[in-house]
Amino acid sequence: MSDVLTRMEGVAGCISLNRPRAIHALTSDMVQAMIATLLEWRDLAEMTVVMIDHAVDPAGAPKLSRGFCSGGDINLLRQSALNDGGVAGRRFFYEEYQLNHLLFTYPERTAGKTVVAFMDGITMGGGVGISQPAALRVATPNTRFAMPESGIGLFPDVGGGWYLSRLKGRLGQYLALTGARLDGAECLWAGLATHYLPVEVLPKAKAAIAAGEAPELVLDALSCAPPPAQLADHAEAIERLFASDHLETIIAALEADESDFARETLATIRSKSPTTCKVALRQLVLGAAMPDFAANMAMEYRIGARVLMLPDFAEGVRAVIVDKDNAPQWSPATPEAVSETTLDAIFAALPAQEEWKPV
């Protein structure tokens, strides 16, 4: 069976990720299939909604409640970095970012088709990239949202420079550096989700939307009150401690703070790649000023093309995913050793023929 299931139901085009053993992590074939489907559906006047979720069985229950989409094909990226000079990895980034941009611009390209993403379960990395472009983003009690890339020597790509830089306070910087996981209630509080629904009403919501009822009104009617967003208790501390765009200054602020939250956050950041933490901070500064989403994705492709081949990526994947010793040896090992010259090279324009372009 295909790793991406597509179908028409009433006025809705439905895209269901169907790779449960990998928590629906995106492969190149899945990305290409989604792009082809979205382009095919673009001019269908009878389709007014696109719904993205993970596969369901005939009874309507999720096959694997653990996740909507756990990310991209990290093994492909690592093997590419080690064996083909990053060629396949860059191609994956290129096409994945085209999918992200296509979803982001889909309503304006299709005279108003509404995109609805159901973030039921783990929504990380590549899963963020296909859910955040949606106008309507549904969280549930199962939702676990994160951009954990700095822990494997990557950066919060797939539009992270755009989305994270636009969150309230300094929440985006906190998420980018720590890879912190947000539950469904916290996603709603942060603005990463537009609605919070009980899992058991998801089939009803999808059926009503497919039947032609206004998607936002359906979700409004079926929403429930979420539990308190625990991260909200730390909002003031996050805004104060992460006020700087310089990693060393953030670390110093955390060191000077005696709260348990600061100590735990500091330990987390110290476990991440210093290079990609610095990359993420600059990425969010630049992303906040980008004129449109395409410009942001062109920036992120430049970063991805370079970071893929840095030693921290292969080492981070080895430590976290392959050997699972969780003891990466970062190079450089400290923030102070990551120079502005290194960052300038990572963010520099590519040769014209290699620059990223939308579909």
Active-site amino acid positions: 72, 126, 149, 157
290 within 8 A of 162, measured Cβ to Cβ:
yes
102 within 8 A of 50, measured Cβ to Cβ:
no
Write out the two tokens for 194: 């537009």
For residue 162, the number of C-alpha atoms closer than 13 Å in the C-beta half-sphere is 22
120 within 8 A of 20, measured Cβ to Cβ:
no
Quote the CA–CA distance of 37 and 292 in Å, as a whole number.
Answer: 24
Write out the two tokens for 172: 């985006």
Quote the CA–CA distance of 129 and 296 in Å, as a whole number.
Answer: 13
Quote the CA–CA distance of 198 and 1 in Å, as a whole number.
Answer: 29
Write out the two tokens for 267: 């330990």
Supply angle C-alpha 348, 155, 171, rounded to 5: 115
How many helices (H) and strands (E) would you count in the chain?
16, 10
Quote the CA–CA distance of 12 and 129 in Å, as a whole number.
Answer: 21
For the packed helices 274-288 and 171-178, what is the interaxial angle rounded to 10 degrees? 150
Quote the CA–CA distance of 68 and 4 in Å, as a whole number.
Answer: 12
Quote the CA–CA distance of 308 and 312 in Å, as a whole number.
Answer: 9
